[in-house]
Structure 1
Amino acid sequence: MKPATAAKKLDVYLPATPEEFRAGSITREELTSLQADPPQWLRDLRANGPHPKNLVAAKLGISNSGLIRGEVTEALTTEQINALLAEMPDWLEAERTKHVEVLREERRVKSLHADRQREREEASGESD
């Protein structure tokens, strides 16, 4: 697989990986090996970053879109993420609140769909 795909599967920021990782293709066996027994560079990258945007967003408790609205365009290190959380700028607080509301609404809609599906199944079972 391409290095970008492997980096995504490993949840690491591709430009921060070693040149030998970015230079060639990675087999499924190599990926499995990296996941099972990560080398030091991978452990360091996962612990300290820089992290890909999806992980930055998750660590900040916001959506990827929230990162864009907050004008966070670069990968951040763990230290930078922790500093943002400690500082809690207005935009981050607002995005965290918005993200919680969106997740709550998604759970509500999912539950509503599940209830309707159960009702349909019960109704179709009664008519037999």
Structure 2
Amino acid sequence: MKSHQSAQTMKPATAAKKLGVYLPATPAEFQEGVVSRAELNELQANPPEWLRELRQNGPHPRPVVASKLGVSIAGLARGGVTEALTTEQIEAVRSEMPEWLVKERATQAEVRKEAARLKRRDAERDAEEEQPAHS
């Protein structure tokens, strides 16, 4: 028996998210169509010029902006950054190093440190549970 697999498609917003690009900056034909899994794979494997340009220069979606600045998306919002930024704008924020960015980066560092501590604690607990009990 052959299994028939229909082509999976996704909305442009989903495809843009998976590609790490800001949907309003993509070409109209991308925004207005649907994207199949095969098309998404092809875009990832062989990005066209417009996709390379967007990934390099932006405007970038908030998750990418947050990552490039080393803060959370909520930290961006607290810092007043609600719009997509270009690579040049991100570099300008980095070079200005406003107080909110310093504070949010410190917050991110604490969050990462706590996550690492919890991961170590859980690993230690798991290791203890695997040890045979002594009678």
SS in 1 for 2:35: coil
Aligned length: 125
Aligned equivalents of 2:19 and 2:31: distance in 1?
13
Aligned equivalents of 1:126 and 1:106: distance in 2?
29
Q: In structure 2, what residue type is equivalent to 1:120?
A: E
Q: Which runs of 5+ in 1 are unaligned?
A: none
* More helix, by proportion: 1
Aligned equivalents of 2:74 and 2:112: distance in 1?
14
Q: In structure 1, what residue type is equivalent to 2:79?
A: G
Q: Which residue of 1 aligns with 2:15?
A: 6
Superposed CA offset, 1:67-115 (max 9, x none) = 0110100000000000000000011111111111111111001110111
1:54 counterpart (57, 63, 76): 63
Aligned equivalents of 1:113 and 1:126: distance in 2?
19
Shift of the alpha carbon at 1:126?
4.3
Q: Which runs of 4+ in 1 moved over 3 A?
A: none
2:93 counterpart (84, 89, 95): 84
2:124 counterpart (99, 105, 115): 115
2:115 counterpart (106, 114, 128): 106
Aligned equivalents of 2:123 and 2:56: distance in 1?
38
1:59-74 matches, within 5 Å, as: 59-74=68-83
Q: Which runs of 5+ in 2 are unaligned?
A: 1-9
1:28 counterpart (28, 33, 37): 37
Aligned equivalents of 1:30 and 1:102: distance in 2?
37
Q: In structure 2, what residue type is equivalent to 1:68?
A: A
